[in-house]
């Protein structure tokens, strides 16, 4: 549909009264509770500092407290947006050509995007896209046989994406498809094993992670429960090819060297690992790594490890609660190399408290001589439970979440230029769900790798190309069911370590209920314990 046809607007003569006061809210009233997340996400991209009040009930706040109001009326084949601020009212209408939910959502978001663009004078790099996986769209078009020009035209017309972001999505999608061609991912699955223990809890962290000092006494009990779940899961996938294994956390290297060896050997004893394309262990924090542990990982055939500094600025490390030094990072990296690890990832976070683009540049300068095979760059986005966010809320009397304003774009540029200069290519990418701040729409998490050293697991889970079976506290199994209306379905474990240990039979039963419901997806068989 042509833009001129899609966006039919009417001006009214309604004017609302003025009042000299700070405007802090945007009120959105829906005719029915649908597409709430998409609407809220798009509004937040334009107005990161405003409170978005959204629902089917009319907002009871005074008009003077609102920057503007939007009433969204969703009918069978027609979407109407009524806009009201203190000076004017406008109407925006879009016609939905078919009854597809995806089409309906796109029409709604294009209308809302036009409205918000007119109000702010701002265009978003990712246009109307608010989801975490924009590369999936480019990949879908490539799998249909379209070329770069066709993909570009599609994403411009339907989602208003910038040429820069389309080029990034295309480059990554093209590389992902080339990598996946080498493995039989359609007839396979991957395994995730969660170790939710950490030396200490970082201030930005919202993952299930438990400091060793407080919870270390539960580690052996946890492992026994984990082994029970591993053995059960193995009985359900005997006829499927295991593509990749990923042991994450937390920090898996909080386990002792012997516990690490036992865990890996347990996996090998019940799963067919002979043809696994990749076996990753997040060695993670350097204060949890020892020479003995690195040797165990090498001896047991681990093909990829992570040594994650997040920052190479000592003051930042202290500020975020990481009890290791920059020198420890370098020392453990060199030790891993000496032992023979030839595929090492390093995680960085841009937007850490009080860091500037110059700090990011200094981090990259310290990393350059190490020359890791993978460099994963994350933009800091905090969930409400993260300690850094709760502290910030206390300081602002609960009125604001922590957000880095205006600098993460410059930081991301530093990492992009560094990657190009040092022979890294972007190979997977996802956007943050809860990004806020002035340049939030520019933020992505991007995995860079030297050619041939890409992490296959990251591609599989991010592009949702196969089922990921996950075990452990806080683990979420993701099942790909192409024959179902809802193609991606999850089975989640409890997050608490103590609950996981005490309720391990319930966690297994949750998976059993799923498998009974979807018997054709996987077949049961008692594996040979080797």
Q: Mind listing the pLDDT tens digit for each residue in 426-484?
A: 999 998 765 544 455 557 899 999 999 999 999 999 999 999 999 999 999 999 988 88
Q: Which tens digits make up the pLDDT trace of 286-297?
A: 999 999 999 999
**Average confidence (pLDDT) over 490-519:** 95
At residue 191, φ and ψ (nearest 5 deg) are -120, 130
> Using an 8 Å Cβ cutoff, are 194 and 282 in contact?
no
pLDDT value, residue 521: 61
First to last CA, the chain: 60
Q: Who has greater pLDDT, 478 or 199?
A: 478
Residue 30 pLDDT greater than 70, yes or no? yes
CA 207 to chain centre: 12
Strand order in the sheet with 8-11: 8-11, 89-95, 78-84, 66-74, 25-30, 51-55
Question: Which segments of 380-502 does DSSP mark as H helices, in order?
Answer: 387-395, 408-421, 456-462, 497-502
Q: Which tens digits make up the pLDDT trace of 341-374?
A: 999 999 999 988 889 999 999 999 999 999 999 9
Which range has the worst mean pLDDT, 42-51, 121-130, 275-284, 398-407? 398-407
pLDDT value, residue 18: 30
Q: Which tens digits make up the pLDDT trace of 381-394?
A: 755 444 554 454 45
Query: How many Cβ atoms sit within 10 Å of the Cβ of residue 15?
Result: 12
- Nearest CA among 56, 431, 51, 81 for reference residue 40: 51
Q: How far apart are CA 370 and CA 264, in angstroms?
A: 27
pLDDT interval class at 213 (50, 70, 90): confident
- Nearest CA among 290, 303, 281 for reference residue 256: 290
Q: Who has greater pLDDT, 213 or 445?
A: 445
pLDDT value, residue 200: 76
Joined tokens for residue 419:
């990657």
Query: How many Cβ atoms sit within 10 Å of the Cβ of residue 148?
Result: 15
Q: How far apart are CA 14 and CA 43, in angstroms?
A: 23
Angle of helix 326-339 versus helix 291-299 axis, rounded to 10: 40
Q: Who has greater pLDDT, 441 or 263?
A: 263
pLDDT value, residue 431: 87
**Average confidence (pLDDT) over 497-525:** 86
> Using an 8 Å Cβ cutoff, are 129 and 430 in contact?
no
For residue 264, count CB atoms less than 10 angstroms from its CB and return exposed for 0-12, middle for 13-18, buried for 19 or more: buried
- Nearest CA among 278, 225, 223 for reference residue 255: 223
The CA distances from residue 185 to 114, 276, 345, 408, 489, in Å, are 40, 11, 23, 35, 18
Q: Who has greater pLDDT, 401 or 48?
A: 48
Residue 45 host element (H or E): helix 36-46
Q: With the C-alpha atoms ordered 508, 269, 284, 479, is the resulting torsion angle positive or negative?
A: negative
Residue 478 host element (H or E): strand 476-480
Q: Which residue has the tokens 């296959």?
A: 456
**Average confidence (pLDDT) over 41-60:** 82
Question: Which segments of 352-496 does DSSP mark as H helices, in order?
Answer: 357-367, 387-395, 408-421, 456-462
* Domains contained in the chain, CATH given: 1-122 (3.30.160), 123-169 (no CATH), 182-255+267-280+466-530 (no CATH), 304-342+344-452 (3.30.750.200)
Residue 242 pLDDT greater than 50, yes or no? yes
Q: Who has greater pLDDT, 16 or 493?
A: 493
Joined tokens for residue 366:
């310290």
**Average confidence (pLDDT) over 485-505:** 94
pLDDT interval class at 206 (50, 70, 90): low
**Average confidence (pLDDT) over 31-58:** 88
Which range has the worst mean pLDDT, 58-62, 153-157, 302-306, 526-530? 526-530
Q: Which range has the top average pLDDT, 318-332, 457-471, 511-525?
A: 457-471
**Residue 479 backbone class (left: φ over 0; alpha: ψ -120 to 50; beta: rest):** beta
pLDDT interval class at 143 (50, 70, 90): very high
| Mean pLDDT across the chain | 86
Q: Who has greater pLDDT, 318 or 386?
A: 318
**Average confidence (pLDDT) over 194-206:** 78
Residue 66 pLDDT greater than 60, yes or no? yes
Residue 41 pLDDT greater than 60, yes or no? yes
Decide: pTM greater than 0.85.
Answer: yes
């Amino acid at each position: 549909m042509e833009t001129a046809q899609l966006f039919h607007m009417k001006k009214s003569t309604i004017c609302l009264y003025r009042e000299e006061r700070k405007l802090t809210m945007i009120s959105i009233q829906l005719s029915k509770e649908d597409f709430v997340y998409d609407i809220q996400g798009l509004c937040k991209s334009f107005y990161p500092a405003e409170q978005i009040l959204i629902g089917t009930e009319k907002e009871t706040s005074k008009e003077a407290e609102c920057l503007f109001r939007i009433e969204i009326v969703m009918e069978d084949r027609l979407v109407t947006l009524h806009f009201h601020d203190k000076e004017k009212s406008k109407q925006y209408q879009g016609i939905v050509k078919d009854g597809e939910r995806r089409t309906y959502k796109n029409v709604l978001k294009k209308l809302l995007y036009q409205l918000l663009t007119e109000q702010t004078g701002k265009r978003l790099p990712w246009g109307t896209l608010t989801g975490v996986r924009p590369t999936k769209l480019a990949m879908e078009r490539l799998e249909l046989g379209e070329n770069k020009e066709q993909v570009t035209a599609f994403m411009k017309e339907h989602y208003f994406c910038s040429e820069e972001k389309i080029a990034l999505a295309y480059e990554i999608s093209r590389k992902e498809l080339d990598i996946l061609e080498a493995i039989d991912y359609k007839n396979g699955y991957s395994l995730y094993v969660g170790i939710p223990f950490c030396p200490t809890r970082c201030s930005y962290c919202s993952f299930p992670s438990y400091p060793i000092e407080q919870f270390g006494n539960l580690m052996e009990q946890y492992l026994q429960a984990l082994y029970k779940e591993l053995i059960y899961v193995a009985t359900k996938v005997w006829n499927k090819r295991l593509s990749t294994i990923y042991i994450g956390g937390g920090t898996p290297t909080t386990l002792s060297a012997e516990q690490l060896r036992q865990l890996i050997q347990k996996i090998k004893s019940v799963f067919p690992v002979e043809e696994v394309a990749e076996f990753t262990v997040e060695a993670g924090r350097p204060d949890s790594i020892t020479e003995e542990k690195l040797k165990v990982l090498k001896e047991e055939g681990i093909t990829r490890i992570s040594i994650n500094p997040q920052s190479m600025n000592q003051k930042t490390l202290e500020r975020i609660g990481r009890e290791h030094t920059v020198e420890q990072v370098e020392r453990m990296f060199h030790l891993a190399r000496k032992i023979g690890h030839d595929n090492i990832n390093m995680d960085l976070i841009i937007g850490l408290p009080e860091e500037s683009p110059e700090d990011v540049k200094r981090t990259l300068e310290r990393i350059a001589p190490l020359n890791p095979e993978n460099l994963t760059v994350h933009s800091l986005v905090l969930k409400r439970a993260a300690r850094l966010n709760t502290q910030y809320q206390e300081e602002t009397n609960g009125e604001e979440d922590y957000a880095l304003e205006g600098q993460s774009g410059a930081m991301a540029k530093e990492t992009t230029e560094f990657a190009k200069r040092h022979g890294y290519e972007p190979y997977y990418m996802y956007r943050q769900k809860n990004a806020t701040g002035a340049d939030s729409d520019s933020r992505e998490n991007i995995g860079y790798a030297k050619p041939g050293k890409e992490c296959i697991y990251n591609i599989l889970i991010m592009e949702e190309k196969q089922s990921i079976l996950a075990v452990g506290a806080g683990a979420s199994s993701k099942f790909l069911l192409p024959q179902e209306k809802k193609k991606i379905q999850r089975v989640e474990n409890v997050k608490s370590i103590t609950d996981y240990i005490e309720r391990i039979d319930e966690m297994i039963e949750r998976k059993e209920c799923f498998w009974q419901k979807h018997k054709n997806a996987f077949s049961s068989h008692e594996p040979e314990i080797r």
